[in-house]
């Protein structure tokens, strides 16, 4: 780590002793210094353990390590994925058609816009029924088969933007190799009116290929014909898509400089364009581009992703908070925590530096979450009174897309109350005051006090969107992408590879013969794996 981090640690160690409530007493207007307001969004990090001095030092640090310069060089095509020698250019996917971004000497923008044009034509054809199934009926069900970034992004976005969707087309997402996922999905579909999108950059991913073959077999065995009318693919592997019987003009390409978890802006977003229409899809890209420009052009102290990314790092490294919970107070964002789990943990769940040295510091916190208010009635007990301190992030939309009486106001009140409660807590005097109105004896009251105390002092950030639209969702997602980038730069890791998923994959392939036939259990297996496999056999054959 750059030397300046030592200074940050010193400031943070002093601040660690101060209750967050005190920071608000010291400076009653701190929210104005520690928040950003845009016409369509508000970001409040005043409930994080920072003060002006500490932030100043963080900005000096950010300048010294060149966070902004590194981001701009990534946007211009530098090989930021150093272990695979690849550029990292999801930002180019939402750049305007007159941008000029080069990979290996070639401007990639014309290719991107060529694919966007074919997404437009195809999605419009599906939506207006001119592209239809083998009986001439319009498609009513779209089944996206893919996993990881080829599922989580489009799945989350289609759910989040359901309000804007064409209602006579149902979107389905099949990812799990558990046959139940496909079976339950196909129970809702008819071969005549179902279109399959096989989404896989490599077109080799085991789960996706197993589901794709099973889906094709279901289609053919249930009266379907003309598979080529009912299938399309999003992939960089034309050889495999052709071998699978997908017409070449129905393969939407993408490139090795798009990482899976950053690919929703590419043709992986085809299902989104079909669901909400191409013009809304463009708005989604425009929202992300707005954030790209913000990150590239704003001064560090006004850059929302840089400030939030630095605070994320501070929580991990200086305050020992290794858990980050995302609570969207918006039903449409129910899947947002799951999407962020891949984006953040697959990017920054690393323990060696870019140059291969074991790190002496922590990296990504555990990302998890669930929508409020459901989460309040589930794990908020731990957030308020548990021994584990968690960095809590609230996301809420000021306007509801489905207003109904005062329900949305109730939701907003819950969101505002929870972040305040996490910070303030509840003192003994306050508990006693509450208990004074009860008929409990003094002994009973005394016994209850420790259970009803809230230490408070638990940090949170609140992000408010004026309204959930394709534009604001794109902006929000890009904000998290760039925060993740900032974390990776500070931690000196390669945020754009994912070697950690490979070992389990190869071991599963090696164990498949044994799962099928116990005679094939390899000799060198540990006894736990061996007994697990033979017990599975015993139960399956009982
Ligand atoms: O799980 C690893 C991973 O490579 C992810 O990064 C990626 O999103 C996913 O698998 C799917 O890969 P593909 O699109 O090639 O099927």
| Mean pLDDT, rounded, for 394-414 | 98
State the Cα–Cα distance between residues 242 and 247, nearest whole angstrom: 7
Query: For residue range 343-377, what is the model confidence (pLDDT) as tens digits?
Result: 999 999 999 999 999 999 999 999 999 999 999 99
Which pLDDT belongs to residue 165?
A: 98
Q: Which residues contact 409 (CB under 8 A, 6 or more apart)?
A: none
Residue 312 has pLDDT above 90, yes or no: yes
Residue-wise pLDDT for 244-260, tens only, equals 999 999 999 989 999 99
Atom of ligand 1 nearest to the CA of 199: 14
Residue nearest to atom 9 of ligand 1 (CA): 148
**Ligand 1: residue whose CA is nearest its atom 13:** 200
Which tokens hold the place of 526? 């540990």
pLDDT at 451 over 90: yes
Comparing 510 with 277, the larger pLDDT belongs to 277
Is residue 237 in contact with ligand 1, taking CB distance under 6 Å? no
| 147 touches ligand 1 (CB under 6 Å) | yes
Choose, from 346, 393, 481, 492, the residue flagged as catalytic: 346
pLDDT score, position 385: 98
Long-range contacts of the stretch 412-415 (C-beta < 8 A, 24+): 412/329, 414/329, 414/372, 414/373, 414/376, 415/329, 415/372, 415/462
* Percentage of the chain lying above the pLDDT 70 cut: 100
Is residue 213 scored above 90 in pLDDT?
yes
Distance CA 427, CA 445 (A): 14
User: Can you give the pLDDT at residue 518?
Assistant: 84
Our mutation pick for probing the ligand 1 site, out of 266, 350, 498, counting the most ligand atoms within 8 A of Cβ, is 498
Ligand 1, residue 152: give the atom nearest the CA.
8
Average pLDDT over residues 289-305: 98
Q: Are strands 141-145 and 106-107 parallel, antiparallel or unpaired?
A: unpaired
d(CA 497, CA 83): 7
505 is catalytic: yes
| Mean pLDDT, residues 227-256 taken together | 95
Average pLDDT over residues 398-412: 98
Kindly give the distance from the C-alpha atom of residue 349 to the centroid of ligand 1, in angstroms, as a whole number: 16
**Residue 1 confidence (pLDDT):** 81
176 alpha carbon to ligand 1 midpoint, in Å? Answer: 13
Q: Find the 79 Cα to ligand 1 centroid distance in Å.
A: 20
Residue ID of nearest Cα to ligand 1 atom 2: 501
pLDDT band at 434 (very low <50, low <70, confident <90, very high): very high
pLDDT grade, residue 309 (50/70/90)?
Answer: very high
- The answer to whether residue 522 scores a pLDDT higher than 90 is no
Quote the radius of gyration of the chain (alpha carbons, Å). 25
Contact status, residue 313 vs residue 487, Cβ threshold 8 Å: yes
276's tokens: 């909400």
Any ligand 1 atom below 6 A from CB of 498: yes
Closest residue (by CA) to atom 16 of ligand 1?
A: 200
pLDDT digits (tens, 9 = 90+) for 132-162: 999 999 999 999 999 999 999 999 999 999 9
The yes-or-no verdict on residue 524 having pLDDT over 90 is no
Q: Does residue 377 carry a catalytic annotation?
A: yes
Cα 149 to ligand 1 centre (Å): 6
Tell me how far apart the alpha carbons of residues 237 and 198 are, in angstroms, rounded to a whole number.
Answer: 12
Distance 151 CA to ligand 1 centre (A): 9
For all residues of the chain together, what is the average pLDDT? 97
Q: Whose CA is nearest to atom 10 of ligand 1?
A: 148
pLDDT of residue 174: 98
70/73 Cα distance (integer angstroms):
5
Q: How far is the CA of 150 from the centre of ligand 1 (A)?
A: 7
Q: What are the backbone angles phi and psi of residue 171, rounded to the nearest 5°? A: -100, 135
* pLDDT tens per residue, range 70-92: 999 999 999 999 999 999 999 99
346 is catalytic: yes
Ligand 1 atom closest to 259 (CA): 6
Grouping H, G, I as helix, E, B as strand and the rest as coil, residue 397 is strand
What's the pLDDT at 523?
A: 82
Supply the residue whose CA is at minimum distance from atom 4 of ligand 1. 260
Dihedral sign (CA 235, 237, 238, 241)? negative
pTM of the model as a whole: 0.97
Distance CA 161, CA 282 (A): 13
Cα–Cα distance, 36 to 40 (Å, whole number): 11
| Helices and strands, number each (H, E), in the chain | 23, 13
Q: Ligand 1 centre from 207 Cα, in Å?
A: 10
């Amino acid at each position: 780590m750059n030397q300046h981090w030592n200074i940050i640690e010193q400031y943070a160690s002093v601040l660690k002793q101060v209750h967050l409530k005190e920071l608000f007493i010291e400076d009653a207007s701190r929210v104005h210094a520690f928040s950003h307001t845009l016409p369509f969004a508000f970001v409040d990090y005043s409930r994080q353990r920072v003060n002006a001095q500490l932030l100043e030092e963080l900005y000096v640090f950010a300048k010294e390590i060149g966070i902004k310069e590194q981001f701009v060089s990534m946007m211009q095509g530098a090989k930021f994925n150093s272990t695979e020698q690849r550029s990292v250019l999801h930002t180019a996917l939402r750049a305007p058609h007159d941008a000029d971004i080069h990979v290996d000497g070639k401007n990639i923008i014309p290719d991107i816009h060529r694919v966007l044009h074919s997404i437009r034509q195809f999605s419009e054809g599906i939506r207006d029924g001119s592209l239809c199934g083998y009986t001439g009926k319009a498609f009513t069900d779209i089944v996206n088969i893919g996993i990881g970034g080829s599922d989580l992004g489009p799945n989350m976005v289609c759910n989040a933007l359901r309000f804007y969707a064409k209602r006579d087309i149902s979107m389905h997402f099949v990812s799990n190799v558990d046959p139940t996922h496909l079976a339950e999905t196909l129970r809702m579909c008819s071969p005549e009116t179902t279109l399959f999108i096989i989404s896989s950059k490599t077109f080799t991913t085991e789960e996706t290929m197993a589901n794709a073959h099973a889906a094709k077999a279901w289609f053919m065995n249930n009266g379907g014909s003309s598979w080529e009318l009912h299938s399309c693919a999003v992939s960089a592997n034309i050889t495999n898509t052709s071998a699978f019987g997908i017409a070449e003009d129905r393969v939407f390409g993408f490139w090795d400089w798009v990482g899976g978890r950053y690919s929703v802006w590419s043709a992986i977003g085809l299902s989104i364009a079909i669901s909400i229409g191409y013009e809304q899809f463009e708005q989604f890209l425009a929202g992300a581009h707005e954030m790209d420009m913000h990150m590239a052009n704003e001064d560090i102290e006004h850059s929302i992703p840089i400030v939030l990314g630095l605070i994320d790092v501070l929580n991990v490294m200086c305050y020992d908070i290794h858990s980050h919970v995302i609570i969207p107070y918006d039903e449409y964002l129910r899947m947002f925590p799951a999407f962020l789990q891949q984006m953040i943990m697959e990017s920054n769940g690393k323990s060696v530096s870019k140059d291969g040295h074991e790190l002496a510091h922590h990296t990504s916190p555990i990302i998890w979450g669930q929508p409020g208010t459901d989460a309040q009635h589930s794990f908020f007990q731990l957030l308020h009174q548990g021994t584990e301190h968690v960095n809590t992030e609230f996301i809420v939309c000021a306007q509801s897309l489905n207003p109904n009486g005062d329900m949305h106001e109730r939701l907003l009140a819950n969101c505002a109350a929870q972040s305040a409660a996490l910070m303030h807590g509840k003192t003994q005097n306050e508990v006693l005051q509450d208990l004074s109105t009860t008929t409990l004896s003094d002994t009973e009251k005394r016994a209850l006090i420790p259970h009803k105390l809230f230490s408070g002092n638990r940090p949170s950030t609140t992000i408010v969107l004026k309204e959930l639209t394709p534009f604001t969702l794109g902006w929000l997602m890009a904000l998290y992408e760039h925060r993740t980038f900032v974390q990776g730069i500070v931690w000196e890791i390669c945020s754009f590879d994912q070697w950690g998923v490979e070992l389990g994959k190869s071991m599963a392939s090696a164990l498949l013969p044994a799962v099928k036939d116990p005679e094939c259990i390899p000799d060198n297996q540990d006894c736990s794996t061996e007994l697990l496999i033979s017990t599975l056999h015993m139960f399956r054959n009982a």
